[in-house]
Amino acid sequence: MKIIASNFKTNHTRKSTLQFCENLEKFIAKNQTQNQSFPHQIMIFPPQSALLENRFKSFQVGAQNAYPTKNGSYTGEIGLEQLEEFGIQTLLIGHSERREILKESQEFCAEKFRFFSQLGFRICYCIGESQEIKQQGIEAVLEFLESEFEGINLNSPDLIVAYEPIWAIGSGVSASLEEITQIHTRLKQKLGKIPLLYGGSVKPQNVREILSLNGVDGVLIGSASWEISSFCQILDNSIDLRSKE
């Protein structure tokens, strides 16, 4: 079973998210039979204002962000109490847009991680290097990725790691199959059985070859997942792939 996750970022409204999720539910129902369930685990991360109750049969709704608190005075943020109202138990932490644009430090990512992992959340923890670090070579990349594990307990149950090179995000050009294989092979030596996703310009045209690589347990998708037709195409193009256990 592969993991296929869609990060809506700052796209979609509550109304369009609901429509998306209903269509997705129909697509999955159409593609499974009584004897054969849908081959992939699916997660959808809508924006906070469009969080939906986590009540769908065939996929999980998760949150793109939350503050490590039950409640309190953190203007503009949501905490555990707000997530609980929707039955949300899945969270993205460490996405490069939050690290780079919103200036979240490694220490803060680790604090969020500790808070929510202790509560039993399923965390999709993102790491990834910039173009500048990439140019310094593979060892510099690995050293940087290692620094993004600081304070992260890799023995936490329900942890998923997403490797998303920043230079491939939203660019339309994913990392090459060789690059993905090289980094995933090295990361897998560290992560063992923790599922490892790739993210960065995954789309209908390349999802199959990326998911077929050794060491790729799934994908985290932004832009190509926002239109339901494109997301269903991604699912359709990879429907017969299963993780090599």
Smaller CB separation from ligand PGA, 80 or 221: 221
Q: Which position among 47, 68, 200, 218 is part of the footprint of ligand PGA (CB under 6 A)?
A: 200
According to CB under 6 A, which one of 80, 152, 169, 191 is a site residue for ligand PGA? 169
Q: Which of 95, 104, 129, 184 is catalytic?
A: 95
Contact present, 145 and 182 (Cβ < 8 Å): no
Of 68 and 200, CB closest to ligand PGA: 200
Of 170, 176, 212, 227, which one interacts with ligand PGA (CB under 6 A)?
170
* Residues 223 and 170 sit within 8 Å (Cβ to Cβ): yes
Residue 80 or 210: the one with the smaller Cβ distance to ligand PGA is: 210
Asked if residue 71 lies in contact with residue 80, where contact means CB atoms within 8 angstroms, the answer is yes
Give the SS3 label for residue 15.
Answer: helix
Site for ligand PGA in 210-239 (CB under 6 A): 220-224
Residue with tokens 């998306």: 20
Using the contact rule CB under 6 A, the part of the chain among 115-123, 141-149, 179-187, 198-206 near ligand PGA is 198-206
Q: What is the dihedral of CA 82, 231, 227, 171, to 10 degrees?
A: 100
Cα separations in angstroms, 42 against 1, 108, 144, 222: 10, 27, 29, 14
The 3-state DSSP class for residue 142 equals helix
State which residue, 215 or 222, has the beta carbon closest to ligand PGA: 222
CA distances from 196 to 67, 104, 218 (A): 24, 22, 7
Strands 218-221 and 196-199, by their bridges, are parallel
Q: Is 199 in the site for ligand PGA (CB under 6 A)?
A: yes
> Is there binding between residue 202 and ligand PGA (CB under 6 A)?
yes
H helical segments located in the chain: 14-30, 80-85, 96-100, 106-118, 131-134, 138-147, 177-191, 207-211, 228-237
Please identify, using beta-carbon distances, which residue of 4 and 221 lies nearer to ligand PGA: 221
Closest residue to ligand PGA, based on beta-carbon distance? 222
Respond yes or no: is residue 164 known to be catalytic: yes
Size of the site for ligand PGA (CB under 6 A): 13
Least distance (Å) between residue 71 CB and ligand PGA = 28
For residue 12, indicate whether it is catalytic: no
Q: Does 164 bind ligand PGA (CB under 6 A)?
A: yes
Binding site for ligand PGA (CB under 6 A): 7, 164, 169-170, 199-202, 220-224
**Catalytic residue annotation:** 95, 164
